[in-house]
Amino acid sequence: MARIVTRASALDLDSPGRRDYWVALEHDSIWGDHLIPLTVMVGPQAQAGQGLVAFGSNHGNEYEGPVAIKNLLREIRTEDVLGRIILIPVLNVAAFHAGTRESTQDDGVNLNRAFVEGAGKTPALSGITHRIAAFVREYIWPRVHVVIDLHSGGDVARFAICANYHPLEDPVLSAKIEETARWFGTPALMIYQNQTPGLLPSEAERLGKITVGTELGWGRAVNPEGVRYGRQGVLAAAIHNGQLRGSIEPIAHHKAGTQRKMEMVDRDCFTCAPFAGHYEPIVECGTRLARGETAGLLHDFDHIDAEPWPVRAGVDGILLAQAWVATVMRGQHILVVGKEIL
């Protein structure tokens, strides 16, 4: 089927059938458009305000999500769709084309910090990244109740592969989100702090949507296990929430009952670099650590004879993430330890 270039206002996200679009958002500097790939499939039982959206490439250098969703474009049959499924393999097209976390060749903004008041509507927040946030708010949120946001570590961090979500006050929504996260099959479930402004998942949660994120790899590569987990999570969420016909079996750590649930909501879970330097990990992600135990060394090559600074765990728990690129900035979180929840 031919992919149609269209403005957001001309999208048909409601009529039965499948449509493949390039959603055109005005380019900031050239006479042209940024084109967001979007596929919508609507079945006979679609309801207003109900559906699933899966996003890849919220950040431009994280690739397991785009690959998993691109594969699902060919795998999901329109005749099996009961409700509404929206697949967006590359949401942040400006950053994706630059191959960077932020939209460095355009407005320099991180899309996962752009869901703020006035995004895409006020002159100070009118660059492409904030307009992508405005597009999601206006056209996607009103049509879905399940949100899957597939991330990886990119250059920022190496992760113990996980599905993740925030702590919420609503126990019913929390239970639905945790169950959805478990179906990815990842080794870990990560409950993380919700203090960072402008996150896409935070806004979806505030709107009452079943919202799950992931960390499926790192290093601007494509981790095959991460792709497998991403595919499984999207399909399971679609089936279990009535948007896709069929059944699905649990895989990997979900099937084996070996998933570890951890939270990293306290500041003590994060170890910051006190100076800019080069990080040497000495244990792998997923390792159990005691508070005060050294997980890596931070080297200062401007003071070549100085002893390296020991990077210590701030809490008892599991090493969830650590710096991937050796060079780290002062103040960067170079170690994240999650407290295990039994």
Give the CATH number, domain containing residue 190: 3.40.630.10
Angle subtended at Cα 226 by Cα 225 and Cα 227, rounded to the nearest 5 degrees: 90
CB 29 within 8 A of CB 45: no
* 23 vs 5: CA distance, rounded Å: 6
Q: DSSP label at 307?
A: P
Is the confidence at residue 225, as pLDDT, over 90?
yes
Where among 237, 264, 291 does a domain terminate? 264
Same domain, 161 and 305: no
Same domain, 57 and 125: yes
Is the confidence at residue 342, as pLDDT, over 90?
no
Same domain, 161 and 252: yes
Same domain, 207 and 317: no
From the list 86, 254, 91, 87, the residue with the least C-alpha distance to 163 is: 254
What is the structure's pLDDT at 22? 98
Same domain, 259 and 281: no
Q: What is the mean pLDDT of the chain?
A: 97
What would the mean pLDDT of 254-261 be, rounded to a whole number? 97
Confidence band for 29, pLDDT divided at 50, 70 and 90: confident
Collapse the DSSP code of 220 into the 3-class scheme (helix H, G, I; strand E, B; otherwise coil) and give the result.
coil
CB 237 within 8 A of CB 212: yes
Helices and strands, counts by H and E, the chain: 7, 19
Give the CATH number, domain containing residue 272: 2.40.50.100
Is the confidence at residue 322, as pLDDT, over 70?
yes
What is the structure's pLDDT at 333? 96
Same domain, 333 and 198: no
Count of domains observed in the chain: 2
Backbone angles phi, psi at 53, to 5 degrees: -120, 140
CB 143 within 8 A of CB 86: yes
Cα distances (angstroms) measured from residue 289 to each of 56, 255, 286, 294: 32, 26, 9, 8
Domain that holds residue 35: 4-264
Is the confidence at residue 1, as pLDDT, over 70?
no
Same domain, 168 and 31: yes
> In this structure, are strands 52-56 and 146-150 parallel, antiparallel, or unpaired?
parallel
* 339 vs 323: CA distance, rounded Å: 19
For every residue of 230-259, DSSP letters joined together read: HHHHHHHHHHHTTSB-S-----HHHHHT--
Same domain, 108 and 239: yes
Where among 241, 264, 287 does a domain terminate? 264
Model's pTM, two decimal places?
Answer: 0.97
Q: Following CA atoms 81, 85, 86, 89 in sequence, which dihedral angle do they give, to the nearest 10 degrees?
A: -80
* 275 vs 299: CA distance, rounded Å: 9
CB 175 within 8 A of CB 49: no
pLDDT digit string (tens) for 286-313?
999 999 999 999 999 999 999 999 999 9
CB 54 within 8 A of CB 37: no
What would the mean pLDDT of 34-58 be, rounded to a whole number? 98
Q: Which helix (H) or strand (E) holds 70?
A: helix 64-75
Same domain, 193 and 118: yes
Same domain, 168 and 204: yes
pLDDT digit string (tens) for 261-270?
999 999 999 9
What is the structure's pLDDT at 2? 86
What is the structure's pLDDT at 36? 98
Same domain, 53 and 178: yes
Confidence band for 30, pLDDT divided at 50, 70 and 90: confident
Confidence band for 195, pLDDT divided at 50, 70 and 90: confident
Confidence band for 28, pLDDT divided at 50, 70 and 90: confident
Where among 242, 264, 286 does a domain terminate? 264
Same domain, 229 and 295: no
pLDDT digit string (tens) for 78-114?
999 999 999 999 999 999 999 999 999 999 999 999 9
